[in-house]
Amino acid sequence: MKTLKLLFGFALAAILFSSCTKETVYEEPPISLDQLLRSYDLWYVDINQTTGYGETPFLQIAFTLSFKNGVLYANNNLVGFGPNGQGNGYGIAVGDYEAYDMILDVYHDLDGYQSFDIYQVDADTIELYNPSNDTSYFLHGYQKSQFDYDVVFYDNIHYFLQEYGAWEKTFTSQMGALNEFDNENYLQFLAGGNDSEFKSSQDVNIANPNNIYWDYTGVYGVGDISGNRTLKTLTLDYDYFDNEFFELSVINDQNIQLYHANSGTTYEFTGRGYIQYLRNAEGTSDKKFSQGNTSDVQKKRKQKTAKKDNPKVNKRS
């Protein structure tokens, strides 16, 4: 009887010990590619991470993408860029998509059919590899409530300046010395090319930006001011005249303020002829204007890092 009790005790102890030391492993159930794409509200296109020498037009222009129940949304503009802006922060619908296995097929309204191999880099980063041009774009996922729209806006403010056909001078302060810039009433910042060309005009009260006669041309540059993320410097380097230097601040989506440091004069400019950027496969302009077309050159984001070979192997060829 004692032997039976002893054996029973050993058996019970073994069961209890086993139940205490054995851990139950819970694995996250695998999710589909479509679920992965929809798990974040916004995917930021990090243009400087791009690898390869090709370009996919609609990705080259977009700041963010969103995948919502088969519809692809994009923030292509900085006018109206914000949590309560275009498309309630998601931008405009630019096409449809299908996601299966690890393949994303996009049917873009202008670019047409584009197909990508998708690689999940980490929990919130995906790589879109386009086998047709051997180029990869990297997207970082964010929930809308955690996405800092202001950082993207002010880091790319030179594109904001390009989103109007012209900027009309609508205010000149009484304070400040007389200077030659007092006579200039319109500015235009051109998209494409070297991404830094501007025009200036002395015309007055022109309703349609297409009818402005541009008196001066040159290149412009936007710089940072240490300790103030929202205040920028603007340099207008005229082709045949001296440079003009300003402090640039954004009042709202249609108005900017330029402080002319040399004279102490403050100017305000209002955007005329809003350009809503889209993109077509041929790379020619396809835009929606509120006040007419002023340029046939298409905006696209420039990669600031050096281009390099893509190590990805095309598995479809």
Residue listed under structure tokens 């412009």: 220
Q: Exposed e or buried b for every residue in 143-155, given b needs 16+ CB within 10 A?
A: eeeebebeebbbe
Confidence of residue 298 (pLDDT cuts 50, 70, 90): low
State what percent of residues in the chain have pLDDT above 70: 84
What is the rounded distance in angstroms from the CA atom of residue 142 to the CA atom of residue 39? 9
pLDDT score recorded for residue 195: 81
Residue 178: which H helix or E strand, with range?
A: none
Mean pLDDT of 254-278: 95
What pLDDT, on a 0 to 100 scale, did the predictor assign at position 31?
84
Residue 26: is its pLDDT beyond 50?
A: no
pLDDT at residue number 294:
39
Q: How many CA atoms lie within 13 A of 20 on its CB side?
A: 6
* R_g (Cα) of the chain, nearest Å: 27
C-alpha 172/C-alpha 121 separation (Å) is 52
Between residues 69 and 7, the one the model is more confident about: 69
What mean pLDDT do residues 132-145 have? 97
Range 245-259 average pLDDT: 98
Q: In Å, how far from its chain's centre is CA 65? A: 9
| pLDDT score, position 241 | 86
Q: What tens digit of pLDDT does each residue of 227-244 get?
A: 999 999 999 999 888 899
pTM, two decimals, is 0.84
Q: What is the pLDDT of residue 22?
A: 45
Walk me through the domains of the chain, giving residue ranges and CATH numbers. Answer: 33-149 (2.40.128), 157-289 (2.40.128)
Does pLDDT of 287 surpass 70?
no
| Residue 233 to residue 158: CA distance in whole angstroms | 11
Q: Are 58 and 108 in contact (CB under 8 A)?
A: yes
Q: Give the span between the Cα atoms of 78 and 82, in whole angstroms.
A: 8
Report helix, strand or coil for 293.
coil
Residue 93 in this model has a pLDDT that exceeds 90:
yes
Tokens of 171: 């205010």
pLDDT at residue 316, as a whole number: 85
Q: What angle do CA 222, 225, 229 make, to 5 degrees?
A: 95
Cα–Cα distance, 274 to 244 (Å, whole number): 25
| Averaged pLDDT score across all residues of the chain | 87
Which three-class secondary structure string do you get for 228-241? Answer: EEEEEEEEEEECCC
Q: Which two tokens stand for residue 167?
A: 């900027």
Confidence category of residue 27, pLDDT binned at 50, 70, 90:
very low
pLDDT at position 297: 54
C-beta of residue 116 within 8 angstroms of C-beta of residue 132: no
Give the H/E segment covering residue 212. Answer: none
Does the structure show a pLDDT above 70 at 286? no
Burial class (CB in 10 A: 0-12, 13-18, 19+), 77: buried
